[in-house]
Amino acid sequence: MLHERARQLAGESAFDVLRRAQELEAAGQEIIHLEIGQPDFPTPDHVKEAAVQALADGHTGYGPSQGLPELRAAIAEKAGALRGLEFSPDQVVVAPGAKALLFYTINALAGPGDEVIYPDPGFPAYQSVIAHSGARAVPLPLREETGFRFDTDEFRALVSDRTRLVILNSPQNPTGGVLELEDLEAVAAAAAEHDITILSDEIYLHFCYDSPFETIASVENADGRTIIVDGFSKTYSMTGWRLGFAILPPALVETFDLYNVNIASCACTFSQHAAVEALRGPQDSVLAMVSEFRQRRDFLVDALNGIRGISCAPPGGAFYAFANITGTGMSSDDLATKLLVEAGVAVLSGASFGSSGEGYIRLSYATSMEKLGAAIARLEGLLGKTR
Ligand SMILES: Cc1ncc(COP(=O)(O)O)c(C=O)c1O
């Protein structure tokens, strides 16, 4: 009954594991959740208050499909300042989540006969949506030895006359890796040479612990061919508000707007009013969260390195530890299942992020120190300690 295209869609292990963990909880087991990628901090009060005010003011109807003008202006200003670039509000399209914009980008730019290069391991929606578009998904392996960056020679070898789009994500989900300038330059040069568009998924830009954030959009040759995707989910703990945005080369704006018109009409209007406050109001909650995440990262990485069979390099960004588990002798899937069922710790198998993720598990540290400490004690109990 289904079209072949629809058969290509794949799920996301974070939601699968969450469901399994909740079933175990319903059966009485106490689970520590390190599987889901959302900050444990609440949405800041001033943002919630702005949403309540927007509801009281009657902002409950459809809005302009491209996004509220005042939100697009705030995004252009703030996103430009963060990246040291100038954006026009006309380049901004607001949508119900960054995920929607990933879908628009891949479908607007690639189809049967085309190739799209994407990071492996990587956010599962990339591979799934590329396959759905009919294009060929070309995985670009990320390597632990280089802090989960890619090898630039390997990248160049994957580029062909059919490459239409290259997807970058830095800081990265699931590895926490951060790309360096030479990586961005290699992609920008190849993109200019082969007329390739770049999709830069920058949703974790605030979560950079060791070096300042750098966008490929500011690299020579990438200007004019880069689509920046970002959103409110992670930075402002607004995952449920469903709000993301893209900053686009002007020629693509109308098409992205049409995707909105055909799929969602517009992003939630009162969420957009609250998002203006998120961008223009005080930023101390973002700074406090990032500082807390840095401490958790340091604790978790150190503790993981004391567990038998596990080693973990410090991730430079995002809020995930991607731990090497080859020393346990188990596959990623088997270990993730064992940790959930026998220790009550929900983590994700690295293999669920692509074949280069085999040999790893992803642990989200977007949870309290207390819970991280308890999770480590359970892992030590199951696998043993080395110190
Ligand atoms: C790399 C990456 N991009 C996009 C998203 C989705 O963001 P949103 O909630 O805005 O759809 C996520 C969420 O986990 C992510 O990890």
Q: pLDDT tens-digit profile of 23-82? A: 999 999 999 999 988 999 999 999 999 999 999 999 999 999 999 999 999 999 999 999
Which residue's alpha carbon is at the smallest distance from atom 16 of ligand 1? 173
| Tokens matching residue 287 | 């700074």
- One-letter amino acid of 353: F
Q: Which of 249, 206, 226 is nearest to 82 (CA)?
A: 206
99 lines ligand 1 (CB under 6 A): yes
Dist. CA 99 → ligand 1 center (Å): 6
pLDDT of res. 373: 98
Q: Is the CB of 200 under 6 A from ligand 1?
A: no
- For residue 383, the CA-to-ligand 1 centroid distance in Å is 32
Q: Which residues pair with 222 in a beta bridge?
A: none
Q: Could you tell me which residues are beta bridge partners of residue 117?
A: 138, 166
Q: Tell me, what's the pLDDT at 36?
A: 86
In this predicted structure, the answer to whether residue 15 has a pLDDT above a threshold of 90 is no
Residue nearest to atom 13 of ligand 1 (CA): 37
CA dist., res. 347 & res. 32, Å (int)? 9
Residue 243 has pLDDT above 90, yes or no: yes
The fraction of the chain above a pLDDT of 70, given in percent, is 100
Beta carbons of 318 and 148 less than 8 angstroms apart: no
Q: State the CB neighbour count (10 A cutoff) for residue 262.
A: 9
Greatest C-alpha distance within the chain: 60
* Residue 344 contacts residue 362 (beta carbons within 8 Å): no
* Predicted pLDDT of residue 4: 94
Please state whether 171 falls in left (phi above 0), alpha (psi between -120 and 50) or beta.
Answer: beta
- pLDDT grade, residue 16 (50/70/90)? confident
Per-residue pLDDT, 32:
96
Ligand 1 pocket test target in 15, 101, 203, 206 with most atoms within 8 Å of CB: 203
User: Is the minimum distance from the CB of 244 to ligand 1 under 6 angstroms?
Assistant: yes
Span 188-210, pLDDT tens digits: 999 999 999 999 999 999 999 99
Q: What is the mean pLDDT of residues 177-184?
A: 97
Give dist(CA 363, CA 144) in Å, integer.
16
What angle (nearest 5°) sits at the alpha carbon of residue 64, between those of residues 62 and 70? Answer: 110
CA distance 163 to 172: 22
Q: Say what the pLDDT of residue 332 is.
A: 97
Query: How far, in whole angstroms, is CA 129 from its chain's centroid?
Result: 15
> Please, is 62 exposed, middle or buried when counting C-beta atoms within 10 Å of its C-beta (0-12, 13-18, 19+)?
exposed
What DSSP character marks residue 237? T
Q: Is the CB of 13 under 6 A from ligand 1?
A: no
pLDDT exceeds cutoff 90 at 13: no
Which is the closest atom of ligand 1 to the Cα of 122?
1
Q: Against a cut of 0.95, is the pTM above it?
A: yes
* CATH architecture assigned to 4-43+284-382: Alpha-Beta Complex (3.90)
Check pocket membership of 326 for ligand 1, CB cut-off 6 A. Answer: no
For the segment(s) 62-280, the CATH number from 3.30.460.80, 3.40.640.10, 3.30.420.40, 1.10.1660.10 is 3.40.640.10
> Which residues, 6 or more positions from 336, have their beta carbon under 8 angstroms from its beta carbon?
17, 347, 348, 349, 361
**Which tens digits make up the pLDDT trace of 76-130?**
999 999 999 999 999 999 999 999 999 999 999 999 999 999 999 999 999 999 9
Condensed to tens digits (0 to 9), the pLDDT of residues 264-314 reads 999 999 999 999 999 999 999 999 999 999 999 999 999 999 999 999 999
Instruction: Bin 354: left if φ > 0, else alpha if -120 < ψ < 50, else beta.
Output: left
3-state class (DSSP) for residue 383: helix
- Listed by start position, the domains of the chain span 4-43+284-382, 62-280
- Please report the pLDDT score of residue 300 as a whole number: 98
> Considering the chain, what is the average pLDDT of its residues?
97
The single-letter DSSP state of residue 311 is B
Ligand 1 contacts CB of residue 98 (under 6 A): yes
